[in-house]
């Protein structure tokens, strides 16, 4: 779908969330195997739930530019629908971005728009299962809230399920509920220490999730240590012992948490779309405007310019978009679709050539 010319520089692809999801999947599989050996059904159920969240991040994280353009066009359509603007069938047929979307298209757009929310939502559910198991351990007095003494063997008495469930639940809720604001750090430049701490969290909410998940790794390490002690006693005659898998789980989670901590929650392009991609969206918008009554077209151009300027990946001011939309609208009303595509490609080649000549 993209009209990028061969010379146009591609932005470097950010795959941190995908890597986090894939590594979480491996860690969750190890968690389920360790839980099965221990006979802990809630650990198996929690791990299975987390595994699904990892699939969501691995498959739907870091969408490519074509998918991001589809997401942006869907957001524009939804915005216009709220304004009472309809898109005629003949207009939809003139743009790939405006094609009628199936139920599955809408589901996919949602999943690609919210991969970290899928991950954290699954983690919240799985954490609740662990927390419930930990509370049962505490109520039955088979485990204590804290170790009775601070030595390597005393850690065996502590309910790591309770602590892991509580900390992971807090991290998951932070990733789900804290609203991301990429400009938060800039806004808090003249603020106090509290303002700056809040800005650090809101600039990238997954920092909070990643930090709490990393804190949880301390209790996961305690679980692995319990398994190492049990390998010489409880599981001495077993071929497969839980410490093999809980140790692998710990290693996977350490890597995953680092990747998550550096990832933005909003997965639409932060580096900015190419000129040809923005032109493609603007042309689709111009076709919608051209299909509306002339008396509302001016107001619609202004409204759409404001909306598009606020979208991630579009680093243009409203007045710049308004000028470009007006030009596209003039082209829509005076040229054929084939002529417009040819003119757009030629203009893009000229722009790239001009940039290259400046760098020589």
Region 265-286 average pLDDT: 81
* pLDDT of the residue at 42: 86
Residue matched to tokens 């942006």: 72
Region 230-259 average pLDDT: 91
Q: Name the token pair of 75.
A: 């957001």
At 260, is the pLDDT very low, low, confident or very high (cuts 50, 70, 90)?
very high
* pLDDT of the residue at 153: 62
Angstrom distances, CA of residue 227 to CA of 45, 142, 238 = 19, 16, 13
How many Å separate Cα 201 from the centre of its chain?
Answer: 16
Region 39-66 average pLDDT: 91
* pLDDT of the residue at 120: 96
Task: Say whether pLDDT at 9 is over 90.
Answer: no
Task: Indicate if the alpha-carbon torsion angle 286, 288, 293, 295 is positive or negative.
Answer: negative
Task: Say whether pLDDT at 359 is over 90.
Answer: no
Region 268-282 average pLDDT: 79
**Which residues lie closer than 8 Å to 7 by C-beta, 6 or more apart?**
349, 352, 353, 356
At 4, is the pLDDT very low, low, confident or very high (cuts 50, 70, 90)?
very low
* pLDDT of the residue at 289: 92
At 93, is the pLDDT very low, low, confident or very high (cuts 50, 70, 90)?
confident
Give per-residue pLDDT as tens, 182-221: 889 999 998 899 999 999 999 999 999 999 999 999 888 9
What percent of the chain stands above pLDDT 90? Answer: 49
Length reported for the chain: 360
13 and 49 Cβ atoms separated by less than 8 Å: no
Task: Say whether pLDDT at 51 is over 70.
Answer: yes
Residues 206, 170, 21: CA angle, nearest 5 degrees: 45
β-partners of residue 158 are 144
String of b and e for 265-288 (b: at least 16 CB within 10 Å)? bbbbbeeebbbbbbbbbbbbbbbb
Q: Where are the domains of the chain?
A: 16-66+109-261, 272-360
Considering just the CA atoms, what is the radius of gyration of the chain in Å? 26
H-type alpha helices, 157-274: 160-177, 184-187, 193-203, 206-231, 242-261
* pLDDT of the residue at 1: 46
Report the predicted TM-score, pTM, of the whole model to 2 decimal places: 0.77
Q: Name the token pair of 51.
A: 């595994």
* pLDDT of the residue at 350: 63
For all residues of the chain together, what is the average pLDDT?
86
Give per-residue pLDDT as tens, 320-344: 999 999 998 888 777 655 665 565 5
Task: Say whether pLDDT at 146 is over 50.
Answer: yes
Give per-residue pLDDT as tens, 19-41: 999 999 999 999 999 999 998 88
Task: Say whether pLDDT at 53 is over 90.
Answer: yes
* pLDDT of the residue at 21: 96
At 86, is the pLDDT very low, low, confident or very high (cuts 50, 70, 90)?
confident
């Amino acid at each position: 779908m993209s009209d990028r010319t061969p010379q146009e520089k591609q932005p470097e692809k950010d795959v941190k969330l995908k890597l986090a999801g894939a590594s979480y999947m491996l860690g969750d599989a190890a968690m389920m195997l360790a839980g099965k050996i221990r006979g802990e059904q809630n650990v198996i159920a929690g791990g299975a739930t987390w595994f699904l969240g990892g699939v969501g991040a691995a498959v739907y994280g870091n969408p490519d530019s074509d998918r991001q353009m589809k997401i942006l066009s869907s957001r524009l359509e939804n915005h216009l629908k709220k304004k009472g603007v309809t898109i005629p069938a003949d207009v939809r047929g003139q743009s790939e971005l405006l094609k009628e979307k199936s139920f599955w298209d809408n589901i996919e757009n949602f999943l690609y728009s919210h991969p970290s929310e899928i991950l954290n939502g699954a983690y919240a559910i799985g954490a609740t299962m662990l927390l419930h198991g930990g509370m049962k351990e505490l109520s039955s007095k088979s485990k204590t809230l804290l170790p009775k003494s601070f030595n390597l063997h005393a850690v065996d008495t502590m309910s790591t399920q309770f602590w892991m469930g509580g900390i992971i639940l807090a991290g998951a809720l932070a990733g789900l509920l804290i609203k991301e604001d990429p400009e938060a750090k800039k806004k808090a430049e003249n603020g106090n220490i509290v303002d700056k701490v809040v800005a650090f969290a809101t600039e990238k909410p997954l920092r909070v999730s990643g930090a709490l998940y990393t804190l949880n790794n301390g209790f996961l390490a305690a679980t692995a240590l319990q398994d190492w002690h049990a390998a010489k006693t409880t599981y001495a005659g077993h071929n497969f012992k839980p410490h093999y898998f809980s140790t692998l789980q710990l290693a996977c989670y350490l890597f995953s948490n680092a990747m998550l901590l550096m990832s933005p929650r909003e997965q639409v392009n932060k580096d900015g779309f190419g000129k040809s991609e923005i032109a493609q969206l603007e042309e689709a918008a111009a076709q919608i405007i051209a299909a509306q009554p002339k008396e509302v077209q001016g107001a619609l151009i202004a409204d759409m310019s404001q909306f598009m300027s606020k979208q991630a990946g579009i680093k243009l001011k409203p007045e710049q978009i308004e000028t470009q939309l007006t030009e596209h609208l003039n082209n829509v009303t005076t040229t054929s679709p084939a002529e417009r595509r040819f003119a757009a490609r030629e203009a893009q080649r000229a722009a790239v050539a001009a940039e290259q000549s400046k760098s020589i």
